Structure 1
């Protein structure tokens, strides 16, 4: 689980856009850059080299998520 206060200040290092926490995947998702950053042992790994590219389906799904 990511602390909401931490989540409110974290942004994507590529696009500087806000992130969404996806608990079941343990990822922080940025729709703007279409990247998902892993959360390992409760620590966000905010490195572009560690991020995975979102599929177009995932991007659309997360775009509509609050």
Structure 2
């Protein structure tokens, strides 16, 4: 999307989320996205739609259909 990876982000499916853990440890946020692949996500959840939130706080919210 042309963004510079300077903000926290999260991919969500239902109640589960994967993203960049808060480096300061204050935010009890998502699981580490580096440990999940799109293929595993689809296999484990059965989803075809993923919510993508960029710039946590400003919440640029996107729905991605696979």
Q: Which is richer in helix?
A: 1
Q: Which is richer in strand?
A: 2
Question: RCO higher in 1 or 2 (8 Å CA, sep ≥ 6)?
Answer: 2
TM-score tier (shorter)? under 0.3
TM-score normalised to structure 1 length: 0.24
